[in-house]
Structure 1
């Protein structure tokens, strides 16, 4: 039986295993994402402590990610993903034990953030570089869209489950479920056997990092997108990571269950967009990325301008749509134009550029929230992100990127 084009990658066994494991693991990530802010608030923290967790997570990624990309190009990428899942699972298990024993402190969660940032630095480039090894080039965009659907399915299920778990048993129960999802992903991916890659010639690790940097800065659309998009992320991530839990509690009058539902609304937008983009091949990738970036910034601003539950859910869905669209189009562009032997390093540089300003963004917006209030912080961040994304259309190599 012939599958729809959007599902063609599932014909390939190793892709099915990767997709299944990562989908379950991401459900756990979003369960954790609901539990974490309410655990920090329960321990007496506020906007600053929420911002510090995100800042430590991002700073850890920045420290590790360039070396991580070089390592991803040197060793089997499946092995990198397995190690990342195992370490993350052990860390969340430790947090669960501490929370259950009543010994958990905010400092423990900061340590978790640092380790999570390091494992993410390895996981993201390894995942993106592995997919072209598992599916043919003709269905690569569909493979990226289907991989993105892991996040969408997770956004629909994880926040709702997380909200119910936190309401029923507290954050410690949610942390325990998250730990189990990491172990599941580890076990199922261990059954995969992707084709072996030709290993890189022996070379010092730092030289390989320099080769990746040299290639990236030789391609104008690549380095401009990577480093300017860091500013777009500042305007988006600052309000959402720091402001949204407080917005739910203080402006909308909700709790963890409402926070979970609002986060799930983001998943609805992502699902719809992933299904749409899995069918056609988008030709003008650069223009598409910029347009979606503008839409995402306006959605963030809309949350602040219309502070009602239904409007927040609608703007959340729009934000989810642009998030997954940008991810699919950008990953497809990199996979099409970057040589396979440089893929891990270029993706790690992309990750580095994207997170370059993220350690500062949550702290900055914690201060902005204190000065101008929650709603106004969303408006400021969203309009800033939209303006930066739109300005990239002035770059000829981005407009012509296919």
Structure 2
């Protein structure tokens, strides 16, 4: 008589999301550090545009402020990838946290004393962007090490779920702060979160994370040669994977269209065009975060996804269509729902992209490849922020949203015509 073997239970979603905490000593500290600093950043996301528009009322000036942030960020990337692959990645993150703490605290004090000028804001935002350009390749490289294959999907999804969770709280909190108190309190909160993030990373260094060993010894006379050679190694890795280099090239232009709308014109749509309270914009960003959380939960519920190329770019089309549809409504509720769709689409793409990088790129070269990815994706953003703001002042924000969203959708459609993208699994 044959007895059937007991069926193996399929892991529940909750169990999958617990895996990173159970199987990795480093994950909790890294996760908590980024979660806390993300809270402060999400508050500032709402407050900064309101401060700029209150000082100037100009989309062109908002574009210039974002250009002042993004230009040092982009210029830092080619060097930061080499630094990240050569030196202690966690300590690089710690340095960035301390400098960003000082910048946010300085802005808070200047606003509180009614001393902030646009020129001062330019300088402080530029320093902040420089540190962001150093931080992000380091953080991505540490994640690639900590997020091992057995926990990768769950760790990526859980990180995004929690980050988007605080982005739900942060924008509403930011809207309440700027509506009922002063913007200085929001920037002060952001500064405090960077200090707490630094302390979490300090624990990570001492108790859990093992820093890179066997760092290459290079004499001062060979530094220039080593930097060029190692940068070329990163380019060679990208060239070996059409999915990587085609997507980086495509998003160099897609980001011009989408990010320019999201950063410059969506706040304008809420505050200037429709004259809504800052809290309404905070609710809109919260809905974007809720859409992203839904996408992350969906993505993290499975260990493997098929047809990832079509799925990723289909999600980008969904996000672009939501941005385009914003020009056809004046309802705050409809705008918030469209922001949820936009957040859902970009999160699906982002998770597929992040996991594909972690699968395809060797850990010892991750910093260089990520810096090239960020450089390719964001190199034209300083121009985008200025261009979108200036065009909106010339022909109107609604028409500008329509033009740039349509161009972005056309680029995505053309990329899907490439077999290497459609067939990526």
TM range (shorter): over 0.9
Contact 2:258/2:405 (<8 A) preserved: yes
Deviates more, 1:202-211 or 1:70-79: 202-211
Contact 2:294/2:344 (<8 A) preserved: yes
Contact 1:243/1:374 (<8 A) preserved: yes
Contact 2:105/2:187 (<8 A) preserved: yes
User: Which of 111, 135, 138 is residue 126 of structure 1 equivalent to?
Assistant: 138
Deviates more, 1:234-243 or 1:195-204: 195-204
Measure, in 2, the Cα distance between the counterparts of 1:102 and 1:206: 46
Q: CA deviation at 1:262?
A: 0.8
**Mapped pair 1:302 → 2:325:** yes
User: Which of 196, 205, 212 is residue 211 of structure 2 equivalent to?
Assistant: 196
User: Which of 256, 265, 280 is residue 287 of structure 2 equivalent to?
Assistant: 265
Contact 2:260/2:384 (<8 A) preserved: yes
For the residue of structure 1 that corresponds to 2:313, the secondary structure is: helix
Measure, in 2, the Cα distance between the counterparts of 1:66 and 1:179: 27
Q: CA deviation at 1:45?
A: 4.4
Aligned to 2:253: 231
Aligned to 2:123: 111
Measure, in 2, the Cα distance between the counterparts of 1:7 and 1:302: 38
**Mapped pair 1:215 → 2:237:** yes
Contact 1:251/1:307 (<8 A) preserved: no
Cα 1:220/1:135, change in 2 over 3 Å: closer
Measure, in 1, the Cα distance between the counterparts of 2:386 and 2:370: 26
For the residue of structure 2 that corresponds to 1:196, the secondary structure is: coil
Aligned to 1:241: 263
Measure, in 2, the Cα distance between the counterparts of 1:211 and 1:52: 34
Question: For 1:249-285, what per-residue CA distance to the aligned partner results, in whole angstroms no more than 9, with x for missing partners?
Answer: 2333212111111111101101111111001121222
Task: Give the TM-score normalised by structure 2.
Answer: 0.91
Aligned to 2:7: none
Q: CA deviation at 1:218?
A: 3.7
For the residue of structure 2 that corresponds to 1:104, the secondary structure is: coil
For the residue of structure 2 that corresponds to 1:394, the secondary structure is: coil
Contact 1:78/1:130 (<8 A) preserved: yes
Measure, in 2, the Cα distance between the counterparts of 1:78 and 1:233: 28
Measure, in 1, the Cα distance between the counterparts of 2:397 and 2:258: 14
Contact 1:305/1:379 (<8 A) preserved: no
**Mapped pair 1:6 → 2:17:** yes
Contact 2:89/2:211 (<8 A) preserved: no
Contact 2:94/2:198 (<8 A) preserved: yes
Aligned to 1:73: 85
Cα 1:132/1:172, change in 2 over 3 Å: same
CA-based RMSD of the aligned residues comes to 1.7
Contact 2:112/2:182 (<8 A) preserved: no
Task: Give the TM-score normalised by structure 1.
Answer: 0.96
For the residue of structure 1 that corresponds to 2:213, the secondary structure is: coil
Measure, in 2, the Cα distance between the counterparts of 1:164 and 1:275: 28
Measure, in 2, the Cα distance between the counterparts of 1:135 and 1:42: 42
Contact 1:57/1:113 (<8 A) preserved: yes
For the residue of structure 2 that corresponds to 1:381, the secondary structure is: helix
Measure, in 2, the Cα distance between the counterparts of 1:344 and 1:227: 18
Larger radius of gyration: 2
Deviates more, 1:340-349 or 1:221-230: 221-230
